[in-house]
């Protein structure tokens, strides 16, 4: 069973409609594709750092400082680190866009997580409220002008 974090934009009536679901755990796409994953998700600065680190390792290998085996091990650990931290990067990106963590949902898949979340929050804020009942006809209160009662005829001359 997968665990998803649900992020909602701060404020706004349609916050639930714009919910973002991020799967918790290891990202195999980030592990396998590394810098391509970073570019695809829009992490251009992180992709630039990745490129600098990879070129530095290649430069160290060309200078004879590191062996080819150690370069492969370091690149493997770079990919492993990215696979572990990729979802944290996505959550941080959502936070910068104004999304806050709203819920943690456990479900077998994304569709089930969405159904569980929307079922838990109830009807969406976008649904129109039921129309209010029409007010009945106003009754005239005898002996009242505005908010003060009419003066009593017996006590008018005092």
Under the banding of pLDDT at 50, 70 and 90, the label for residue 153 is low
In a domain, 158, yes or no: no
Mean pLDDT for 24-51 is: 95
* Cα–Cα distance measured from residue 73 to residue 101, given in angstroms and rounded to the nearest whole number: 35
Q: Which residue has the higher pLDDT, 83 or 146?
A: 83
Which range marks the domain in which residue 28 is found?
A: 2-125
| Separation CA 144–CA 151 (nearest Å) | 9
Residues in the chain: 158
Share of the chain above pLDDT 90, in %: 57
Q: What is the pLDDT of residues 79-116, one digit of tens each?
A: 999 999 999 999 999 999 999 998 999 999 999 999 99
Could you tell me if residue 151 is inside a domain? Answer: no
Contact 1/108 with Cβ under 8 angstroms?
yes
Q: What angle do CA 36, 42, 44 make, to 5 degrees?
A: 75
Kindly state whether residue 76 falls inside one of the protein's structural domains: yes
The pTM for the full model equals 0.69
Domain count, the chain: 1
Non-local (6+) Cβ contacts of 43 within 8 A are 89, 93
């Amino acid at each position: 069973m997968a665990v998803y974090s649900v992020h909602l934009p701060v404020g706004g009536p349609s916050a639930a409609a714009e919910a973002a679901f991020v799967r918790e755990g290891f990202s195999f796409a980030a592990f396998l594709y590394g810098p391509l994953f970073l570019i695809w998700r829009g992490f251009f600065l992180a992709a630039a750092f990745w490129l600098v680190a990879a070129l530095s390792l290649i430069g160290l290998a060309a200078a004879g400082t590191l062996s080819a085996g150690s370069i492969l091990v370091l690149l493997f650990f770079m990919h492993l680190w990215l696979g572990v931290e990729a979802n944290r990067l996505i959550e941080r990106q959502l936070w910068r866009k104004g999304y806050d963590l709203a819920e943690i949902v456990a479900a077998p898949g994304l569709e089930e997580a969405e159904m569980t979340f929307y079922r838990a929050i109830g009807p969406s804020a976008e649904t129109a409220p039921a129309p209010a009942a029409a007010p009945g006809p106003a009754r005239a209160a005898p002996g009242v002008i505005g908010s003060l009662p009419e003066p009593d005829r017996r006590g008018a001359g005092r």
